[in-house]
Structure 1
């Protein structure tokens, strides 16, 4: 069980790193070569900055305008929430794992580990929602024949964010299922012990009482009374 929790922790930690990398990346979308008039110039856009480059390789960074679209603001909030939840999930996982010496009793450590798993799952869902929303906007504009502005394609940051979200969800799910299996095994062990302890002595006591309380047939009063009556009448 400890090895399973270590794998879950590494999965959640890798997902957190991928989520942070996708959040700070400027390659959420890139210009499409098919619709670009000047092929020697390309533009990359992220959640925080826009990057323009040319064939020489020079990059010019400029911040995004304050009047951002609603989906960009939503993606910013979701990615920040994903990073925060993943960070707290990592901290709680370190405290709640069985191989660590902190966290208190096994019962309290199990609760902390389950809480860490929930944080990892929520982090993965936030990152997955942000990347999917951004990708949906890009694909909608790309395949819209009425959209005449510059079209973009999916950037590398989206695939990194999707990978991080999957790792976080897998790590959180393993944490939750490991804690559930541990509690189930402990409950079954206690139940079997109680059943064996209560069943065997009662069965032995029942046999002992039935044998000890059963009177011998030759000494019973009911067997002697009918014989005595018959002898008297005869």
Structure 2
């Protein structure tokens, strides 16, 4: 049962890493909304790295943000959190592969392997927390601008990248909790058993008894 929980935690953590990588590279963290627009002539998409526009003819134009220092503070923070999440997920995968019971790496010291698997679970939890904070912070700014009647810019809505990011954070958190619940960090109890009597000792004892019997009758 413990091995199955470890495998489940590894699979969920791996999927969390994959979804986080996809979310970081997808274009649509936020996209233009049709709210209060009578005629829509272009579709705007934006993520942490660039902004894209599609006109009515289907032509795409994308441009990267010119300077990191010119970006709003929350975008800089979300970039740092997502990169940290990818790094934490990578460390979590390596630690989990080393610490699993079915892995041959690290020998048969299951106490040490359990602790390494627990470290992998902690890394997955940190990945999930970083991802959830980043996508939730970004979504909170989108929501604030959308419902602000004095906001002069274009109204935008939550894009697919944020939903993938939320899925990534949820999978990573569940995978980390599975690893923490399945790890064995306590010293296993040793069972002491008396060794069975050897066959030679039994024959010696019987031989001596029989010899003693013969001498008694003489």
- CA displacement 1:59-102 (0-9 Å, x = unmatched): 11111131100000000000000000001101111111111111
- Verify: 1:40 aligned to 2:36, yes or no: no
C-alpha displacement of 1:107: 1.5
| Mapping for residues 75-224 of structure 1, pairs under 5 Å | 75-104=78-107, 105-179=109-183, 182-183=184-185
Give SS of 1:44's match. Answer: strand
Give SS of 2:63's match. Answer: strand
Tell me the distance in 2 between the aligned counterparts of 1:127 and 1:20.
11
Structure 1 pair 69/38, CA: closer, same or farther in 2 (3 Å)? farther
- Verify: 1:70 aligned to 2:73, yes or no: yes
**Contact 2:45/2:51 (<8 A) preserved:** yes
Any gaps of 5 or more consecutive residues in structure 1?
195-234
The TM-score normalised by the length of structure 2 is 0.82
**Contact 1:49/1:61 (<8 A) preserved:** yes
Tell me the distance in 1 between the aligned counterparts of 2:97 and 2:153.
49
**Contact 2:112/2:185 (<8 A) preserved:** no
C-alpha displacement of 1:56: 2.2
**Equivalent residues, number:** 189
Tell me the distance in 1 between the aligned counterparts of 2:93 and 2:160.
25
Question: Which stretch shifts more, 14-23 or 34-43?
Answer: 34-43
Q: Which has the larger radius of gyration?
A: 1
Question: Which stretch shifts more, 107-116 or 34-43?
Answer: 34-43
**Contact 1:36/1:150 (<8 A) preserved:** no
Tell me the distance in 2 between the aligned counterparts of 1:143 and 1:34.
11
Moved over 3 A (4+): 35-38
Tell me the distance in 1 between the aligned counterparts of 2:46 and 2:37.
15
Specify which structure has the higher proportion of helix.
1
RMSD: 1.8
Tell me the distance in 2 between the aligned counterparts of 1:150 and 1:165.
29
Any gaps of 5 or more consecutive residues in structure 2?
193-218
Identify the structure with bigger relative contact order (alpha carbons < 8 Å, sequence gap 6+).
Answer: 2
Give SS of 2:53's match. Answer: strand
